[in-house]
Structure formats: structure tokens, C-alpha cells
Chains A and B, each alone.
Chain A
Amino acid sequence: MKILNLIKLAIRALQRNKLRALLTMLGIIIGVASVITMMSIGEGSKQSINASLASMGSNMITIQPYSNEPGGARIMGSSLKTLTIRDVEAIQKNAPDVALISPLASSGGQSINGANNWPTTIQGVSPDYLEIRKVVVKEGIMFSDQEVRSFAKVCLLGKTVVDNLFPNGDDPIGKVIRFGKTPFQVIGVLVPKGTSNFGQDQDDIIIAPYTTVQKRIQSTIYFGSIYASAITESASDAAVTQISAILRDTHHLRDNQDNDFQVRTQAELMTMMNSTSSMMTALLTAVASISLLIGGIGIMNIMYVSVTERTREIGLRMSIGARGIDILLQFLIEAVMISITGGVIGVLLGITAAIVIPSMLNWPTVISESSIVISFMVCAITGIFFGYYPALKASRLDPIEALHYE
């Protein structure tokens, strides 16, 4: 029989048992829809992580204190006291692949403007910080190296801080606010960056010279971390090596001593973050694939029932000239039709879910064409694989027995 006629025949057979066909498809529909949804969530989170890391500067290098002393209480890296301005200056002078560098002295506290106050974080940095972290001044100006050296009490505000300290919409520039007990004159406002991938409000900050923050607020000479940027992204690894060597030297570490700091590039961070999300995606996809498998078994089951029910029809078709291959194809195409129709519905559902999820759960999703193509192909293969044995059984029936089957 011609393939076109076989397809018509299969459509007709499915139309006769609409509910049964739909129920059989359900496994495939759920399987395909969840594979596509999971993969689009995975792809979406991967892309948004990459985008936000890139927005931080793809050649950014982070230096943090780090302790790997065996025994004793481990303490948080950022509260260790190892990084000082000497380290910053040494790196600036001796690391050729480091373009920019800024220490970060960060401290939490209450910011106050008249009757308004807001709990926020003050970041003591040097002017290079803006360039390294891709922060842009929206209005006003950044403080200068001169102001850093003179412990100037000037600051720039993030949008969240502006909104909370100046609820009436007053221009904050030129005003004096207080952070804790220290007064700061506002000299600039930052362009909003929005929420980071980790759920942090990146606009809830005040930027001030690190000298002022260290002296007036923290009363310390140590930094929680140092940010640097390599001259190019590909020079990152060389820069890391140079920084490590310089810091080992300034910290007077002997050869058998471990580093008391940690140097990380964005690329490392990216790999780390992506490996988590890839693992989640793989896991979810595996679970979804299992439902696809179960859907396939459902098809096999219903095809066996169908072959048994239609034994007399098979006998008749054989007696009027159908060959084994004709019967085989008839049932195989029916099985493939079920799985492909299920696949199409599943793809549509999956795409719908991928479109709806971001607005409902605020998860980013990206529909990848490959996930659609793959799940569609898996569907067709499922149909052929699970439809083959029932179809083979049908094609091997003895026409005489099949004709007289009750």
C-alpha cells in the first residue's frame, strides 16, 4: 500500500478511538512538554548567569583573603586580615597584565538624610572600581585619586539608596547625608544595575573613597577584598599568576606555606555557576525522559490491544492481498502517528510553559531549537521502537486463523 494511503488509514483509525488515542498520547505529551520546559529553564538560567557575569566585566579578577589552616576554627575569608594597601600598590607596580585595581572596604550600616534613613552597605573603593565593575555614573562625578588621598567625605549613591533617602524626588547631588555618624557629601548618582543573579539588589550601595571608609567607619587598615581587571580577557590567567606571586612575596610566605589569599577570574566563576545549573538541567531532563519512556510503553500496550482487537480485520486484509509488510507498516505508522501527534502537542505545551513561566515565577527561560528538534526525534524513534513489536506480531498472523478469530 502507498505510504500516503497508510497515513490516511492511521489517521482514520485514531479518529475512531479519539479518547484512547489521546490518553495514549498523554505520556508522550507530558514527557516532551517537560523536557522542553526543563531545557528552556536550564538554558535561560545559564544565559542570564553568563550575561550578568559579563556585565560585571569579563576580565575581572577577585582577590580575597583565604585560610586553609588545618585544625582550629575556620573563619570567613572576608573577615581575615591579610590584604592591605601595600598589596594593592605592589600589584599595581609589578603585575604587567593587570590594567586596573581597586581595594574594597565594605561595611554595613544606617544611612540617614534628615528624617529618612535606610540600612545599606558602604563600599570604600578607588576610582578604578567603576571601570572594573562596569558601574557608570549617571549624574555628578566620581571622586578623584586626590580625594582618596585626602580622606574626602564624599560619596555616590545607588538608585535604591536615593529612593529611600530622597523620597520626595529632591536632587541628592550636593546634599550631605550621614552614614552612621560620618557625614558624606553626595557628589554623584549611579546608573541602576538591577537585581543580580544571586538576588542581590545591586543598587543598594553607597560608594566612597576606601581611605575614608577604613578610617572613619571601619577603623582598620585591612580590605575585605581587592578587585582588579586584566588588560584583556585572555590575559586573565597570566594576571592571576602574577598577582599570586606578588602577594606571596608581600605576605612573606615560605615555599611550604599555602596561600593566605584566593585569586579568582570571572571565567572560573562562570564555569562554577554553570556547572551547577547544567547539573540541574541534566537531572530534570533525565526525569522528563523517564516520562517519555513510560509514554512509549503506553503506546506499545495500546498497540498490542489494537492488534488483538483487529485480528479479523488483519485476516481480511491479508486474504485480499495485503502482504506482511503492508500490515506491519499500517500498525507502525499508527504508532508513530500517536507519538508524533503527542510530540507536536507536547512541543506546543512546552513552548507555552517556557513563555508563561518567566512572567509567573520570574525565572528566565530560553527556548532552544535543539531541544525541540531532539525531543521531536526522540518521539518518532519512541513510536517506531515501541510500535515495532506489536506491528510485527500483526504482520506475522496466519491469515486463516486471523479470519476466524473471535
Chain B
Amino acid sequence: MTGKKILEIQNVKREFVMGDQIVRALKGVSFDVNAGEFLTIMGSSGSGKTTLLNMLGCLDKPTEGSYILDGVNVKELSRDQLARMRNTKIGFVFQAYNLLPRTTALENVELPLLYNPTISTKERKERAIAALKAVKLDDRFDHTPNQLSGGQQQRVAIARALVNEPVMILADEATGNLDTRTSYEIMSLMQELNQNGKTIIFVTHEPDIASFTNRTVMLKDGRVLKDTANPNPRSAKTALAELPVSDDY
């Protein structure tokens, strides 16, 4: 399953100045991602995976090296141009969902499109509805986050990541707050989206989650330790079916 290159990371370094010390979070990371891949970035804490994620999500820029996202060199972009990249090319899914409280599911999903002036009110609504249908929440448009379960909230967040039709979805420990069954449900949804052509990068420290994806990049001490393909990922749907019922109380 390979398409055109959408991510090119060349010897990326990121250094932070903390007082009089320089912390090297990334010491030269290189890998490419092709369209249609379902990739896991793994690593223990302190391996630089959060720094790499921020970089991939255009929230941060490399100190050295080059990061080319969909043909654009991110290092040369201004603050506003970075915002534009996040708005059009990336869909974020966070561990804590980060939905706006007291705001309906539909409005939460519409949010990224509000920051894109080329999209009309009508189109915004249609696309938000389509995105919620894609995550199988078409009966929950008017529910606010506190009326939704954790898994449903995360699905709203995934719909929000899909709505701007990004070149990749970037998930940061997206199953970290969920129980096993709900995690598998989310992974099943992710696999389905991937089969429909979405590029997904999943950052996690759980090897269990990585087994559902078709490639794993392992980070350690700011460098790539391993980059392994997984030609036969587990099916989350099957795993879900195999879960003992007692697990669900």
C-alpha cells in the first residue's frame, strides 16, 4: 500500500535552551511516509516522540534538518503559515479529546472549517454531518461532550480531524484515556478510515496498539531505533470480537 510521498523527514534535530543548558530532544531523525500508510511512532517517555509529534503537526519547527509536508518545507513557514498548514493538511486527535465544552458535536466538528474562509456556511455544515456519519455518530449531532461517553467523544474528535480532509491524521495517544474495548473500537474505526485511503500517524507507547498498524517507527533518545514494516496487521474488528464478555462487566 504505497502512494506518493507526503512526509519527508531529513536529519531533523530539535534543541531546547533550558536556562544555560541545551536539551537535545531530537538528534537527527529521518524517515518518509507515503500516502495511505498507517504508521505508529513508539517510544518510551523522553525518547523525543512528543517533540516529533509537535513537529509533524506543524506546532513546532525543527532547529536543523528539513521537514517537507505535502511538498512544503515547514521550516521556512511563518506562524500564520503554520496555522494554515494545520488547518488544511493535518487532523489532530488528542488523548484528552479536547472538545469544546457546552458545544454540540456538530459545532465541534465544524470548528476547523470556521478558520477556513473559503468554505461557506452551507458546505461547512454538510461536511461536518458527513464527517460525523463517517465515525458512526449520525444520531448524536446535538449532544454536548458531557452527554457523550469517552469513546463517543473521541469519535467526535476524529470527525473533527477528518472534516478538513487533511493529508494525514495525527493521533497523540488517542486511546490513552479509553478502556480496552473502546480502544479497539477506535482502532477499528481508524483501520476503516485507513482502508478508505487516509494516512494516519499514531503516537503511542502501547505495543498492543502498534500491532494494528502496518508500520512502526521506534524512537529512542532522540533517534530512530527501528523502522519495521508490519505486513499483516491485526484486525481490530476481530480483536474486538475475541474480547471476553466479562471485560465489559
Contact = CB atoms under 8 A, between A and B. Distances in A.
A binds B: yes
A324 B115 contact: no
A320 B111 contact: yes
B59 A323 contact: no
A57 interface: no
Interface in A108-147: none
Given A312-B98, A324-B80, A403-B98, A319 B59 contact: yes
B70 interface: no
Nearest to B100: A313
B115 A1 contact: yes
- Majority secondary structure, A binding face: helix
Interface string B105-134: 000000110111100000000000000000
A399 interface: yes
A16 interface: yes
A94 B234 CA distance: 122
B55 to A, nearest CB: 10
B111 A324 contact: no
Interface in A285-318: 312-313, 315-318
Contact of A399 (B59, B84, B111, B116): B59
Contact of A400 (B60, B88, B102, B115): B60
Interface string B40-70: 0000000000000010010110000000000
B79 interface: yes
B177 to A, nearest CB: 14
A326 interface: yes
Contacts of A325: 80
Interface in A59-73: none
A312 B95 CA distance: 13
Given A321-B83, A321-B84, A399-B59, A316 B100 contact: yes
B199 to A, nearest CB: 18
B106 to A, nearest CB: 14
A359 interface: no
Contacts of B164: 320-321
Contacts of A326: 115
B94 A403 contact: yes
B102 A16 contact: yes
Contact of B160 (A2, A320, A403): A320
Contacts of B183: none
B86 A321 contact: yes
Given A1-B114, A316-B98, A321 B79 contact: no
B184 interface: no
A5 interface: yes
A322 B116 CA distance: 9
Q: Name the residue among B84, B100, B160, B164 with the largest chain A CB count within 10 angstroms.
A: B100
Nearest to A6: B114
Contacts of A2: 114, 117
B92 interface: yes
Interface in B146-191: 160, 164
B86 A319 contact: yes
A2 B111 CA distance: 12
A6 to B, nearest CB: 9
Interface in B3-45: none
Contacts of B57: 319
B111 A400 contact: no
A320 B87 CA distance: 5
Contact of A321 (B87, B98, B100): B87
Given A400-B54, A400-B59, A322 B115 contact: yes
Contact of A319 (B80, B92, B100, B102): B92
B114 A5 contact: yes
A324 B54 contact: no
A319 B59 CA distance: 7
A317 B83 CA distance: 10
Nearest to A326: B115
B88 to A, nearest CB: 7
A396 to B, nearest CB: 10
A399 B60 CA distance: 9
A320 B115 contact: yes
Of the listed residues B83, B94, B98, the one surrounded by the most CB atoms of chain A closer than 10 A to its CB is B83
B165 to A, nearest CB: 13
A189 B123 CA distance: 83
Contacts of B98: 312, 315-316, 403
A12 to B, nearest CB: 8
Contacts of B88: 321
B83 A322 contact: yes
A352 to B, nearest CB: 34
A399 B57 CA distance: 11
B79 A324 contact: yes
Given A313-B100, A403-B94, A403-B98, A323 B80 contact: yes
Given A322-B115, A324-B83, A403-B98, 18 more contacts: A1-B117, A315-B98, A317-B111, A319-B57, A320-B87, A320-B164, A321-B84, A321-B87, A321-B88, A321-B115, A321-B164, A322-B83, A322-B87, A323-B83, A323-B84, A324-B79, A325-B80, A400-B60
14 contacts: A1-B115, A312-B98, A313-B100, A316-B94, A316-B100, A318-B86, A320-B112, A320-B164, A321-B86, A323-B79, A324-B80, A326-B115, A403-B59, A403-B94
Per CB-CB distance, the 9 closest pairs between chain A and chain B, nearest first, are A321-B87, A321-B115, A320-B112, A323-B83, A316-B98, A323-B80, A321-B86, A399-B59, A400-B59
